[in-house]
Structures are given as structure tokens and as C-alpha cells.
Amino acid sequence: MARLPRLIVPHQPHHVIQTGNNGQAVFHDDDDYLAFLGWLRAAAKTYKVQIHAYVLMPNHLHLLVTPADEDGLGQMMQWVGRYYVPYFNQKYGRSGTLWNGRYKTSLVDADAYFMLCSRYIESNPVRSSLVARPQDYRWSSYCHHAGIRPDGLIVDHPKFWALGNTPFDREAAYVALFDTVLGNEDLARIGNALLKGWPLGSDQFKAALQNQVKRRVLPAKRGRPAKIKQENA
């Protein structure tokens, strides 16, 4: 099914992915990761986008964000690319595009899927066999949520705050979530929604969203409309 036009709704969480062109690496060393995060932090502040979770993988990145308006997310991503791509090209003696087209995003039902998306993002290095444990990967927000290392880029979402009354309680509850590996069904549901631009949520959430934005938010069903049977004359 065709991917729908990008849907951005202010004050709602969005799961974002951006990948390297033809799967190529977009980060090679620590300086690359640090440079990208520095520009991302500046852009998020400028364009009023709260970043709740992230992971920078060697050839792609994931973000879980809440924009304050319809334009901020796109402006943030463009601004970061405007600085990072020339930096990367000059450093590695290359030219041309770095990204595989525009970023992709999926609107997230916070009640049903916010914590799942956060786990999906921060467990990516483990699923990719880069590390054995999420805390062993430097370039994600897991260590912030686990209370290992604060990250000034992160704005904690109310769903994270709801995990406990104290920082220790919240961090312990978050770490405990990772004791259970995400199932294939959850992985497929999150991945498909993200790559195709579908909202991720319950049927009730999708119906309310469609009514709110006054546009179709899910792909049309395949096939031709059913023919109406006519009685013999």
C-alpha cells in the first residue's frame, strides 16, 4: 500500500526514522555522533520539539519526539541536515546526498504505544547485535532513562514520569521493562507504521485522529469497490 502524506499533529508524540542513502554509514566515529547530537539539541530548542528518546545507529537514526506545531519537526530535521551533511561530506571527501530521501514518521498513541516505542528505539543496538545490553551503547537515551547518565537532550514525557513517584522508582521501573524482549508482533506493528507513515495506536485513537485532522489517516483497502448485485428483470 502507498505511504500516506506525512501527518504531523502538534503536542502528540511522533516516531521518526532517517536512514543513510543506500544503507551507507552516516556516522563513523565519536566526533560524528557528538556533532550530530549537538546540532540536534540546538535545532530542537529553536523549533520547539521535545525529544523523549533517540538512538543513533551507524547507518540510521530513530527519534521519539513531540513538536509544538505542525512545522517544527520538519524544520528541525532540515536544519540538522543543513549542518551535518556538509560537515560529513567535507570530512570524508564525498559529495551529494547523505540521506535516503526525507525522514519518515509515525504519529504515536501515547497511552498505548509510547513506552513500547521508547523500548523499540533504545533496544535497537541489542537487536542489531552491536552490544549485549542497552546500557553498553553510548549513542542512545537509554542511560538517561535508566539513571546511569543524564542527557540534556531529553525531555521526559509524562508517560515516563508516570512510572514512579521518585527518580529512583521511575528509573527502576523503566529498566524492568527491558527484562521482557519485544515480541515479533510489536516489532512488526511499530516498524510497519513507521516505514509507511501510518499512525500507531488503537482503533479508537485512529478514529478520533481522523475526525480531528479531517483527512484519511490509514491506507484505503485494496481492490475495486464491490459491485451491487441487481435483481433479474
pLDDT tens column, 65-106: 999 999 999 999 999 999 999 999 999 999 999 999 899 999
pLDDT tens column, 150-177: 999 999 999 999 999 999 999 999 999 9
Report residue 106: phi and psi, to 5°.
Answer: -135, 125
Indicate the pLDDT class of residue 213, thresholds 50, 70 and 90.
confident
Residue 2 inside a domain? The answer is no
The residues near 3 (Cβ < 8 Å, ≥ 6 apart) are 104, 195, 196, 197
SS (H, E, C) the chain: CCCCCCCCCCCCCEEEEEEEHHHCCCCCCHHHHHHHHHHHHHHHHHCCEEEEEEEEECCEEEEEEEECCCCHHHHHHHHHHHHHHHHHHHHHCCCCCCECCCCEEEEECHHHHHHHHHHHHHCHHHHCCCCCCHHHCCCECHHHHCCCCCCCCECCCHHHHCCCCCHHHHHHHHHHHCCCCCCHHHHHHHHHHHHHCCCECCHHHHHHHHHHHCCCCCCCCCCCCCCCCCCCC
Residue 7 inside a domain? The answer is no
Please say if the pLDDT value at position 232 is more than 80. no
pLDDT tens column, 100-148: 989 999 999 999 999 999 999 999 999 999 999 999 999 999 999 999 9
Give the CATH number of the domain where residue 115 resides.
3.30.70.1290
92 burial type by CB count under 10 A (0-12 exposed, 13-18 middle, 19+ buried): exposed
Residue 221 inside a domain? The answer is no
pLDDT of residue 6: 77
Residue 118 inside a domain? The answer is yes
Residue 191 inside a domain? The answer is yes
Residue 224 inside a domain? The answer is no
Residue 178 inside a domain? The answer is yes
Indicate the pLDDT class of residue 210, thresholds 50, 70 and 90.
confident
Give the residue numbers spanning the domain of 108: 14-211
Lowest mean pLDDT among 29-33, 34-38, 181-185: 181-185
Residue 6 inside a domain? The answer is no
Instruction: State how many domains the chain has.
Output: 1
